[in-house]
Amino acid sequence: MPDVTTPSPDMVAAGQPGPGTDREFTVRRRSQSSLVLRRFLQHRLAVVSLGVFLLLVVLSLFGETLWHYKSTDITDDLSVAPSAKHPMGTDSTGHDLLAQVLAGTRISILVALMVAALSTAFGTVFGAISGFYGGRTDALMMRFVDLLLTIPSLAILITLSTLLANGGGDPVTIALILASLSWLSIARVIRGLFLSLREKEYVEAARCLGATDRRIIFRHLLPNAVGPIIVNATITVAFAILAETGLSYLGFGIKFPSTSLGLLISVGQSAASTRPWLFYFPGLVIILIALTINFVGDGLRDALDPQQRRVRA
Amino acid sequence: MSAAFELAPTTDTALLEVTDLSVSFPTDDGLVEAVRGVSYRVNPGEVLGIVGESGSGKSVTSLAIMGLLPQTAQIGGSVKLGGQELVGASYQTMAGLRGRAISMVFQDPISSLNPVYSIGWQLAEAVRAHNDVSKKAALSRAVDLLQLVGIPNAKERAANYPHEFSGGMRQRVVIAMAIANDPDVLIADEPTTALDVTVQAQVLETLDIAREATNAAMILITHDLGVVAGVADRVLVMYAGKPVETGTVDEIYYASQMPYTIGLLNSIPRLDSSTGEELRPIPGSPPSLLHLAPGCPFSPRCSYRIPLCDEQEPALLPVEGADHFAACHVADTLGPQR
Amino acid sequence: MTTEPVLQVRNLVKHFPVRGGGIVRRTVGQIHAVCDVSFDVHQGETLGLVGESGCGKSTTGRAVLNLQPATSGEVLYDGKDVTQLTGNALRAVRRDMQLVFQDPYASLNPRMTINDIVAEPLVIHHLGGSTSARRETVQELLRMVGLNPEHGNRYPHEFSGGQRQRIGIARAMALEPKVLVLDEPVSALDVSIQAGVVNLLEALQDRLGLSYLFIAHDLSVVRHTADRVAVMYLGRIVELAKRDDLFTRPAHPYTRALLSAIPIPDPRKERERKRIVLAGDVPSPAAPPSGCRFRTRCQVFRDQLDDTQRAACIEQQPLLEDRGIGHEVACHYPDVEKVV
């Protein structure tokens, strides 16, 4: 019998891969994030939506400086229909609507992003603690969340708006008010996620090594929860856009001297039949923002958690 | 293409004849050739054991025969059941054959059984899917089947739901469902892998009973060489999507002519081994099916290799023995192993 | 190998409460996972703990390390009772006693690189010096388990099952433990890979003088690696013997049935073997049978005993003791039978 190429009796060779077995890395070395990115890029609708959304953001940030009218400028053209000079027309005071829509978009997006950031931060911490510790702590914290969720949100928002901001005001206050409700659903999702993540074997392994709770939460659980956190954050942005619009429309949100798309709709609503451009342009932009964010959220969700059909070999 | 592997002509009609079956899956990273040319035949009452590790393609082969692969799979070659071609057959044809002429038992009985219907109902449904009988007659046949597979108090237990049975019992129920319509071919894909050893013994006994009751040809797919030794008449060893050795069970275990099979047999710990014998592992790991290098896929791990092994993939050729084939350039020089 | 026990387990009990529904969720029953288990692990030896699913072997392994708090009993290591330790005292003991997990796919954090995973124990216990010194130790550990240290900055999903298990072993070895609890360390691996990992574990034991508690359901692997073997059934140890004794002279009916059921990759032997097939299913651990727990499936109870003898099995729980066989058996009517 031909001699087996005996590896050295060293224990290292007890499992040393044979010659030429670096073939095991034939799958190109890819980190998790580039895999996610690749999957996202295959989702054409999401990519296009992301592009449109970013375009809107850029326009809203820089558009006003580039456009020769400011949102507060009063021109001589009163209630003019859309034309080359005023692509979105003007209102009864002579404000250029395009400039106003740009300004309003900026504020609305700003508020939405702030709401997402605040509620994600708070909701994640709350849900993480509740899900990780479980037991009585979890029961108490979740009953509190359930309680808040049963109260009609609109009622809370209007009440808060009246109490804190005299019925509306600057973007930061409105963002805080909206965030005070939107953290609830994030907390629930993260809590469920942590409840299941903490049962994972690598968490048990960390505990076995002597890791403290703090280390487990920050080093093991949170990095593995990033996916759902991001998806929830995008959902919150979509929610916040529409919520702020609704609140401002009702008159409890952004108020003069700030402007927002909701405010523009509210003001333009009465003229919808005679001067439709005052109503429909801001409305279209709102719809556009909400749609693009939803599609981006879909794409992210698919990229982070692909549904694969497994075939055993 | 194993052109040199000619199936020896037999006097009985081979029940299931697989010729040069190949299956590929398009993936993000390229085309994965899961099965690259498998040929075998099984006769009535015979047990063929297909042995291989993960990635060998053994399960994909049987799923291809049953027509259970996803739409994206590309299937080539031929599968003839009693002369009827299965590859490319219509959905209706396959649905008519599955559960009647050819049945399958899977590894996990939980997923084969519907949790919201009673066992008796599901068995009766399997009968009625292919036979025009009354519900009462089907249910009575269901109880008979449960008795055959050794479920105690079959009549009462027919009304129970899957979650009320233990793992071993569930697998026996699945076997009962598989033989409900007296199939010609029974495929068992890792039927006992998830079960405890004592339960495994019970289920293997049940499979034996099932096979005798129907005189079906049985294909047993597993990675457990001990199970195959006790059950199979013939063995097919698969590696990297291709059969590398086939023969009677004695030929494979005592006179193997393929280094992978030899390596496998040497590396598994045995219950009857003498003390202090060291295990001889096969170095390295199975290759990725994504971009197979030229030559024999086993050569990087093979201790008998010669330069030819890296250049040309060996065909499945006859070696010493009655019906013994091996895909190895140095076969017939390896000598008897036990 | 000296006869000094490095780990002593005495009367270990672990019950899991079964809670009823409703708001208050009172405890309506107990799952008797581990019932009065005692054994020693000696310095440098491998004690195999075997049994089928539900016998309580994994729970025993976790309780020994106090990863699952025991309901009662003691685990004595280095003069201390591990079950009573908490906080920093427990963390100190963790340096000496580690666990190798069964599932190589789930036991590694998918978001951490291999270097981070293996270095984590050093970081937790503030050992190993500076970051670069730690990096060197990690490379040394990876080499020790047969992996290429250059691949240290890759992620777990890029490795095969066998390699991941080696990473898990490297991680467990980072703190230089004295006792390793191995929970089915090769069950999830391909057959041809198992041998390599088993050889590695044996080599490490020889070189570093480790003591192993080797939990497995695969008796063929245990035959190869263990010095002594304990067989568990439904939460109790039913037989405890030196390795060769257990396999050539099994005395408990369950051990005999278990051994006869295990297939051997040898067609001639398989054809000649007599197989003892047990009747029925394993009883629920929430309601174990009275007296001897194995009596509901026992082939001796069924075929060979008369009614007065059976009464003993129904009423008295047999203790684990040497009844003249030469090793400990928990059976009223043990009988040696060669089944392998």
Structure confidence by residue, pLDDT tens digits, A16-57: 333 333 334 434 455 667 778 888 888 889 999 999 999 999
Beta bridge partners of B222: B51
Helix axes A44-66, A277-304, angle to 10 degrees: 140
Which residue out of B187, B301, B333 would a mutagenesis test of the A interface target, given it has the greatest number of A Cβ atoms within 10 Å?
B301
- Closest chain C residue by Cα to residue A200: C106
How do residues C57-105 score in pLDDT, each as one tens digit?
A: 999 999 999 999 999 999 999 889 999 998 889 999 989 999 999 999 8
Contact B335 A17 (CB under 8 A): no
| Torsion sign, CA atoms C283, C285, C288, C292 | positive
Neighbours of chain C (3+ CB pairs under 8 A): A, B
Q: Which residues of A touch B301 (CB under 8 A)?
A: 18, 21
**A308 shares contact with chain B (CB less than 8 Å):** no
- Asked if pLDDT for residue A76 goes beyond 90, the answer is no
Closest in C109, C155, C207 to A31, CB measured: C155
Check if the beta carbon of residue A130 is closer than 8 Å to that of residue A187.
yes
Supply the mean pLDDT for chain B: 86
pLDDT of residue A9: 31
Contact C109 A29 (CB under 8 A): no
pLDDT interval class at A6 (50, 70, 90): very low
pLDDT of residue B6: 46
Measure the CA angle with vertex A108, ends A105 and A111; round to 5°.
145
Check if the beta carbon of residue C326 is closer than 8 Å to that of residue C251.
no
- Closest chain A residue by Cα to residue C144: A12
pLDDT of residue B274: 67
pLDDT of residue C24: 61
- Closest chain A residue by Cα to residue C116: A219
Q: Which residues of C touch A205 (CB under 8 A)?
A: 99, 101, 107-108, 168, 171
Closest in A27, A212, A223 to C158, CB measured: A27
pLDDT interval class at C22 (50, 70, 90): low
pLDDT of residue A306: 61
pLDDT of residue A30: 58
- Higher-pLDDT residue of B274, B70: B70
What average pLDDT does range A242-264 have in this prediction?
84
- Closest chain C residue by Cα to residue A209: C121
Supply the mean pLDDT for chain A: 81
Give the number of other Cβ atoms within 10 Å of residue B9's Cβ: 6
Shortest distance between the Cα of A91 and any Cα of chain B, in A, equals: 54
**C197 shares contact with chain A (CB less than 8 Å):** yes
Contact A313 B285 (CB under 8 A): no
Percent of chain B residues past pLDDT 70, beyond the cut: 94
How do residues A155-181 score in pLDDT, each as one tens digit?
A: 888 888 888 877 667 888 889 889 999
- Asked if pLDDT for residue C211 goes beyond 50, the answer is yes
pLDDT of residue A26: 38
pTM: 0.82
Q: Which of residues 51-80 of C touch A (CB under 8 A)?
A: 65, 67
Contact A312 B60 (CB under 8 A): yes
Shortest distance between the Cα of A206 and any Cα of chain C, in A, equals: 8
Q: DSSP letter for B299, please.
A: G
Contact C263 B282 (CB under 8 A): no
- Higher-pLDDT residue of A94, B254: B254
Cis bond before residue B152 (omega within 30° of 0): no
How do residues A205-232 score in pLDDT, each as one tens digit?
A: 999 999 999 899 989 999 889 888 988 9
Contact C194 B271 (CB under 8 A): no
Q: Which residues of B touch C221 (CB under 8 A)?
A: 269
How do residues C118-156 score in pLDDT, each as one tens digit?
A: 999 999 999 888 889 999 999 999 999 999 999 888 989
pLDDT interval class at B282 (50, 70, 90): confident
pLDDT of residue A96: 83
Contact A18 B63 (CB under 8 A): no
pLDDT of residue A50: 92
**A25 shares contact with chain C (CB less than 8 Å):** yes
Tokens 């002519």 correspond to B257
Closest in B34, B281, B299 to A313, CB measured: B34
pLDDT of residue B199: 87
- Asked if pLDDT for residue B11 goes beyond 60, the answer is no
**C107 shares contact with chain A (CB less than 8 Å):** yes
Backbone angles phi, psi at B95, to 5 degrees: -65, -35
**C153 shares contact with chain B (CB less than 8 Å):** no
pLDDT of residue B153: 87
Contact B271 C340 (CB under 8 A): yes
Closest in C67, C158, C206 to A204, CB measured: C67
What average pLDDT does range B137-158 have in this prediction?
90
What average pLDDT does range B277-290 have in this prediction?
81
pLDDT of residue B319: 87
How do residues C25-42 score in pLDDT, each as one tens digit?
A: 677 788 899 999 999 999
pLDDT of residue B91: 85
SS3 per residue for chain A = CCCCCCCCCCHHHHCCCCCCHHHHHCCCCCCHHHHHHHHHHCCHHHHHHHHHHHHHHHHHHHHHHHCCCCCCCCCCCCCCCCCCCCCCCECCCCCEHHHHHHHHHHHHHHHHHHHHHHHHHHHHHHHHHHHHHCHHHHHHHHHHHHHHHHCCHHHHHHHHHHHHHCCCECHHHHHHHHHHHHHHHHHHHHHHHHHHHCCCHHHHHHHHHCCCHHHHHHHHHHHHHHHHHHHHHHHHHHHHHHHHHHHHHHCCCECCCCCCHHHHHHHHHCCCCCCCHHHHHHHHHHHHHHHHHHHHHHHHHHHHCCCCCCCCC
Q: Which residues of A touch C160 (CB under 8 A)?
A: 24
Shortest distance between the Cα of C80 and any Cα of chain B, in A, equals: 35
Which residue out of C264, C269, C273, C274 would a mutagenesis test of the B interface target, given it has the greatest number of B Cβ atoms within 10 Å?
C264
pLDDT of residue B117: 92
pLDDT of residue A156: 86
Window from A72-86, A266-280, C178-192, C300-314 with minimum mean pLDDT = A72-86
pLDDT of residue C109: 93
Report CA C27 to chain centroid distance, whole Å.
Answer: 29
The helix/strand/coil state of B332 is coil
Closest in A11, A204, A223 to C200, CB measured: A11
Contact C223 B196 (CB under 8 A): no
How do residues C36-70 score in pLDDT, each as one tens digit?
A: 999 999 999 999 999 988 899 999 999 999 999 99
Supply the mean pLDDT for chain C: 90
Contact C146 A200 (CB under 8 A): no
pLDDT of residue B336: 63
If you average pLDDT over each of C7-16, C284-293, C299-308, which comes out highest? Answer: C7-16
Q: Which of residues 176-205 of C touch B (CB under 8 A)?
A: 190-196, 198-199
The helix/strand/coil state of B78 is strand
Q: Which residues of A touch B280 (CB under 8 A)?
A: 4
pLDDT of residue A29: 53
Give the number of other Cβ atoms within 10 Å of residue C303's Cβ: 7
- Asked if pLDDT for residue C306 goes beyond 80, the answer is yes
What average pLDDT does range B168-191 have in this prediction?
91
pLDDT of residue C234: 93
Sheet (strand B234-239) strand order: B102-105, B185-189, B217-222, B47-51, B234-239, B242-248, B325-326, B317-318
Neighbours of chain B (3+ CB pairs under 8 A): A, C
pLDDT of residue A216: 93
pLDDT of residue A256: 75
Burial of A230 (0-12, 13-18, 19+ CB in 10 A): middle
Percent of chain A residues past pLDDT 90, beyond the cut: 28
- Asked if pLDDT for residue B235 goes beyond 90, the answer is yes
pLDDT of residue A123: 94
C-alpha distances in angstroms, B272 versus A195, B228, C219? Answer: 46, 17, 10
